[in-house]
A and B are shown apart, each in its own frame.
Chain A
C-alpha cells in the first residue's frame, strides 16, 4: 500500500520554545492522514507538542554534484567564526 501513497516529511517540536526538527517520513494519502501517521509513528513516547508534515515532493534539495562549489569554500575560512575576541565576563547573554 505504501507504494501508491505519497511520502511526507515529518517535523516535530519537542517542546514549546524549540523549533520543529526533521525526524523522518511517513506515507499518507493526504495531509490529515499524514498528521495522524506522524503522530502515531513519531510522538507516541511523548516526543512532541506540535507536528508539521510537508509533501516530500515539495522539497528542493541541493545537488550533491554541486557540493564542492556550495560547501567546500567554507572549510578553510576560520575567520568566519566569531572566535577571535574575548567575551567580557560580565556579558551574560551571548
Chain B
C-alpha cells in the first residue's frame, strides 16, 4: 500500500475542504455558498477515504490523522492551505488545483494499488465538476467587469507560485496537459498567463506556511480539548 501517497492526497483534500467550509455563510450569493460547501464536502469525503487508508497500517483511523497530527506531519501541497482571499482568489486556487487533481485522479484510477485506484475512480467524477465549475467562474470573472478582471488576475498571480509543487515526483508528466487546459481557459477569459515565478515547495515534506497552523488550531481545537467526544 502506498501510504505516503494516500496521506498526501488525503491531506490535500482535507485542508482544501476546510478552507472552502470557511465560505459557508459568507459567499457572494446563496447559490455560490452552497456550491463551495458542496465542493468542500466532496473533498472531505475524499479525505476520509485516503486518510482511512493511510492510517490503517498503523491502526489509526482518519479522525486520528486529521485531528492528532501537528503541522509538520501534514503533507498537503502549499496551494490548498493558502487563505481564501476574495472570491476570485478562491476560484483561482480551486481551478488550478482541480484541473491538476482531475488529471492526477484519472491517472490513479488505473493505479496498481487497487484501493487507491478505486477511490480515485470514484472521486474523478466529482472533481471534473469542480474543475468545470471553477473554470467557468475564471472565464466569467476574467471576461466580466474591469474590477472582476483585475481581481481574477490578482488571484491567479497569488496562487501561481504554488503550482510547481503539484508536479513534483510522479505528477511531473501531467504538466503539459494541465498547462494546456489552464492556458485555454485563461485565453477564453481574456486573462494573461501569469509570468513564471520561482515556485515555493515544501508542503509534501511537512514544511508549511504559517497558515496551516491557524487552520489546524481551529480544526483540531474541539477533538484536542475533548478527546473522543461523541454526540
Contacts and interface: CB of A to CB of B under 8 A. Distances in A.
Interface residues of B, number: 10
A70 interface: no
A36 B29 contact: no
Nearest to A38: B31
B140 interface: yes
Given A40-B38, A41-B34, A44-B38, A33 B140 contact: yes
A2 interface: yes
A1 B144 CA distance: 13
Given A37-B35, A40-B34, A2 B29 contact: yes
A29 B133 CA distance: 14
A26 interface: yes
B136 A41 contact: no
B230 interface: no
A32 B137 CA distance: 11
Interface in B1-46: 28-31, 34-35, 38
A2 B38 CA distance: 19
Contacts of A40: 31, 34-35, 38
Interface string A52-77: 00000000000000000000000000
Interface of B: 28-31, 34-35, 38, 133, 136, 140
28 contacts: A1-B28, A1-B29, A2-B29, A2-B30, A2-B31, A5-B29, A26-B31, A27-B29, A27-B31, A28-B31, A29-B140, A32-B136, A33-B136, A33-B140, A36-B35, A36-B133, A36-B136, A37-B31, A37-B35, A40-B31, A40-B34, A40-B35, A40-B38, A41-B30, A41-B31, A41-B34, A44-B34, A44-B38
